[in-house]
Amino acid sequence: MVRALLGETIDIHGGGGDLVFPHHENEIAQSEAANAKPLAKYWLHNGMVTVNGEKMSKSLGNFTTIRELLNRPLDPMVIRLFVLQAHYRKPLDFTEEAIMSATNGWQTLQQGLRFGEKYEDRLGWQKNQELDSAVIEQFKAAMDDDFNSPGGLAVLFELAKNLRREGNLLTHEGKTDTDREELQRQWQTLVHLAEILGLEAKSEANLEDNQNFDEAEITKLIQQRNAARKVKDYAQSDRLREQLQEKGITLIDHPNGETSIVHSS
């Protein structure tokens, strides 16, 4: 199948760490014996997901899906950050403490990402796409080191914490000693790197639109989503949920079939 669709050698072959032996070793033996060429240039084996230190499985009753997590009053960015905080080859332990830590971490990143929205006019920024090349190189070095996402995130957190500190100075003292062009460069670099990892903060202005979101429209969308779930059209169900989340409204599905509404901030 690989040879028919992708050629005799593919760039990347991935899979769980439990598949190294015997599955992938057998694959290598068969493919390389047939083609006399390497099967893959790079092998990526991810660590297993555990829950409170135990292997996730339906038999243990600790099985959690992304869909179930998204049905909680939880920003999807928190889940993305939670996954990125662990190296892909290491086990990923799902605990409430880990989710809380990711939630706090996302709040820090959000404050940094919203720095421009809050202070752009006050600082009199000009149109400028300049990025901090030294910081970009730090990020690249981390990600080039076997996709070291925790190392890459450390670069983002350093930028976000500095911007948060500068924002506090602007708010409480009315000024900062840091050059305004340097602040713009830091903020634009943070936004650029966050986008690479798929981390995006919603505008505070968009969140304020919640107040203008008609309750009748919310009810209508919930009814449409319930109908989609009833016929197992999960793609449509997810689209409707995301439409509501864009307005800061999270839906929580309960076992009895009812749906709660949470207005997030």
Greater pLDDT, 53 or 38: 38
Residue that terminates a domain, selected from 168, 201, 234:
201
In angstroms, rounded to a whole number, what is the distance separating the alpha carbons of residues 124 and 142? 33
Total number of domains constituting the chain: 3
Q: Are residues 73 and 196 in the same domain?
A: yes
Residue 182 has a pLDDT of 95
- Residue 55 within a domain: no
Residues 102/107/113/117 CA torsion (nearest 10 deg): 160
Torsion sign over Cα 150, 155, 158, 160: negative
Q: Are residues 84 and 193 in the same domain?
A: yes
Residue 264 pLDDT exceeds 70: no
pLDDT in tens, 63-92: 877 778 877 778 899 999 999 999 999 999
pLDDT in tens, 146-158: 999 999 999 999 9
Q: Could you tell me the pTM of the whole model?
A: 0.76
The residue among 47, 62, 61, 159 whose CA lies nearest residue 113 is: 159
Cis bond upstream, residue 38 (ω within 30)? no
Q: Are residues 120 and 230 in the same domain?
A: no
* CATH number of the structural domain spanning residue 141: 1.20.120.640
Residue 265 has a pLDDT of 47
Q: Are residues 140 and 193 in the same domain?
A: yes
Q: Are residues 185 and 224 in the same domain?
A: no
Q: Are residues 105 and 185 in the same domain?
A: yes
Greater pLDDT, 127 or 215: 127
Greater pLDDT, 215 or 46: 46
- Residue 28 within a domain: yes
Task: Please state, for a pLDDT cut of 70, what percent of the chain lies above it.
Answer: 92
Q: Are residues 218 and 128 in the same domain?
A: no
- Residue 53 within a domain: no
Residue 263 has a pLDDT of 63
Domain residues for 24?
2-46
Which helix (H) or strand (E) segment is 120 a member of?
helix 115-123
Overall average pLDDT of the 8-27 stretch = 95
Q: Are residues 76 and 169 in the same domain?
A: yes
Q: 152-166 as b/e, with b when 16 or more CB fall inside 10 Å?
A: bbebbeebbebbbeb
- Residue 167 within a domain: yes
Overall average pLDDT of the 200-229 stretch = 75
Q: Are residues 98 and 183 in the same domain?
A: yes
Residue 34 has a pLDDT of 94
